[in-house]
Structure 1
Amino acid sequence: MSQKNKTVVRSMDILELFYDHPALTFQEMIDISQIPKSSVYRMIRSLEDIGFLEKGDDAKYRLGTLFLKFGHLVSSRIDLRQIAYPHMDALHERFHEAVNLTVREKDEAVYIEKIDQYQRVKLYTAIGRRSPLYAGACPRAILSFLNEQELRDYLERTALHPMALKTMTDETTIRYAVLQARRDGYTVSYSELEDHTAAVGAPIFDYRGEVIGALSMAGLEANYTEEIVRTYGVAVKEAALQISEKMGYDPSHIHYI
């Protein structure tokens, strides 16, 4: 066997360690593989350069997002919350508004992360809360980017109940809001989940191009002027797109119209 072939085989031996271990330190890879330290070091460097491995802030290595294009192995282990948090924190530091992260669970959006340390008035959204997909900027960011058949089926089977002063309960109004979201790349809500609050949300896509969650900023309705909404919309959309790319999404397939 040539030296090049040996290197390829040993590199595969390193990658195969991650079938049973979601994350490994440099020393753990040496201990488990029994490959010499110098060889493991060279292979890790090469695999990092290619994008097959990524090193986290915790000094542990994980399979790179490049693998998302080849199957479900990495996607099943990617923690959306972990990927999104730095982007959420950056938005919060910049604007001092509450920043929320939701995922879709059947016909609901579930809030799985929130940053609001700078916000004096605490809002409806809290980790673990559930909202129907038609109400609120973050849930409706998910609804707006479902395919047309999914959207139609959802609206046919869903009773539209008011949850606050301005909750949309008319299908025509919701469809118009969906169309507007697809044009702008973000959604806007006023007093839909809680009176006198507002939010701006944008969708998060996975490597298949399917919407899997959403990111939003929320605050007091009185502060959300048209100019502020445009500013927040651009910022949230960009952050959500960056998160999507780390989930393996190809931005050339952008869903905005």
Structure 2
Amino acid sequence: MKRITRKTSSPRTKDAADVNPSATGAYTSELRQSGSRWLLTAQDDDLHPQLPAPGLVPAVENAVGIVNFINRAPGHMASLTEILTALSISKSHCHSILKTLTYFGWLKFDPRTKAYHLNSGLLASASSLLGSPVLDTIRHELQQLVRRTEIPAVLTQPQVDDTFIVIDKFNGAQSMEVSFPIGHHFPRDATANMRAYLAWQPESVVDRWMKNWRPVRYTSATLMTEEDMRAEIVATRKRGYARSVGELTEGLMALGMPIFDRQGEVIYIFTCSGLLSALAPREEQLAREIVRTAISINRALLARVPGDFPTA
């Protein structure tokens, strides 16, 4: 079995040149060959953005914190003691929140292990999000794209901390399969996603992103200077699509495009990726396909796109 692996780990000090503030530990991506098929996997266990609580409604903030903690806990389960210790919530308050979340089906209590698990009530409450007409439109177009190109696609959503969450993935009969789970976190500097997001943003947004950027050398091809990063963002806009050439994962090439809403905000990003050796010779043809798909999606959503965004 062949493997192409790259792991980035955070050094001891946050002011070191290669520390990524979006990561608390390590982000691992890997291309692994099994027979004639390649699998693209990634591990984000140490990449869990923790937004500071705004202090507006403590009970709601604690409930969100509990759900997130259980989701990230080993085995996706946690006891009352583990939760209140980790989140510094009083025992009575924590117990009341757990009882409430259990009552509404968001959690389930296992009396044998004395642990709480996430329950399907969460999915019922969020069903309209993943089953929205907007996502149905996007899914249809991406499924068609994957069929035409035989290249897998991943749909992500930008987060307030600049990271990206996997919303859906589309695999076909191609030689490489994307194995990211739904909900997987990409770091804020995940190359194709980041460039697709920033390329058509106002300069002030790019400046803010750069201010908070700390380079991480994911591979030998990763860009490490602000000058190079800005130049590639400009090149992305001029080119009309984002590209990553072995910069996040060794041996992997990815092409990406943004999806806008009616206010002109980037609401989703899709990327198509595959073995660098296979995609590089096809880049021009694949680029036409992803640009055509992005145009079709944005038109279907009645999105407001920047004036210099590809139109044909």
Deviations 1:105-124 (A, max 9, x none): 02112221111132333347
Q: Equivalent of 2:182, from 115, 118, 127? A: 127
Secondary structure, aligned partner of 1:122: strand
8 Å CA contact 2:154, 2:270 repeated in 1: yes
Distance 1:195 1:124, change over 3 A: farther
Matched residue, 1:83: 137
Measured after TM superposition, the shift of residue 254 of structure 1 is 4.3
Q: Distance in 1 between matches of 2:266 and 2:245?
A: 23
Alignment of 1:131-210 (within 5 A): 131-210=186-265
Q: Distance in 2 between matches of 1:86 and 1:220?
A: 24
Give yes or no for the alignment of 1:109 onto 2:164: yes
- Total equivalences in the alignment: 181
Q: Distance in 2 between matches of 1:166 and 1:127?
A: 27
Matched residue, 2:76: none
8 Å CA contact 2:264, 2:306 repeated in 1: no
Unpaired stretches in structure 1, ≥5 consecutive residues: 1-74
Alignment of 1:59-70 (within 5 A): none
Measured after TM superposition, the shift of residue 133 of structure 1 is 3.7
Measured after TM superposition, the shift of residue 89 of structure 1 is 0.8
Deviations 1:84-143 (A, max 9, x none): 111111111111111111111021122211111323333475432222343321332012
Matched residue, 2:277: 222
Measured after TM superposition, the shift of residue 194 of structure 1 is 1.6
Q: Distance in 2 between matches of 1:177 and 1:126?
A: 29
Q: Distance in 2 between matches of 1:136 and 1:126?
A: 19
Matched residue, 2:59: none
Letter aligned with residue 303 of structure 2: Y
Structure with more strand by fraction: 2
| Structure 1 consecutive aligned stretches of length 4 or more whose deviation exceeds 6 Å | none
Distance 1:124 1:185, change over 3 A: farther
Deviations 1:173-215 (A, max 9, x none): 1111111111122011112222101011111111112222212
Deviations 1:1-51 (A, max 9, x none): xxxxxxxxxxxxxxxxxxxxxxxxxxxxxxxxxxxxxxxxxxxxxxxxxxx
8 Å CA contact 2:243, 2:256 repeated in 1: yes
8 Å CA contact 2:152, 2:176 repeated in 1: no
- Output the aligned Cα RMSD: 2.5
Give yes or no for the alignment of 1:242 onto 2:291: no
Give yes or no for the alignment of 1:99 onto 2:153: yes
Secondary structure, aligned partner of 1:97: coil
Percent identity of equivalent pairs: 22
Secondary structure, aligned partner of 2:230: helix
Structure with more helix by fraction: 1
TM-score of the pair, normalised by structure 2 = 0.53
Q: Distance in 2 between matches of 1:151 and 1:117?
A: 35
Unpaired stretches in structure 2, ≥5 consecutive residues: 1-128
Matched residue, 1:19: none
TM-score of the pair, normalised by structure 1 = 0.63
8 Å CA contact 1:199, 1:216 repeated in 2: yes
Deviations 1:120-174 (A, max 9, x none): 3334754322223433213320122221101101110121212234222221111
Secondary structure, aligned partner of 1:224: helix
Distance 1:194 1:248, change over 3 A: same
Letter aligned with residue 295 of structure 2: L
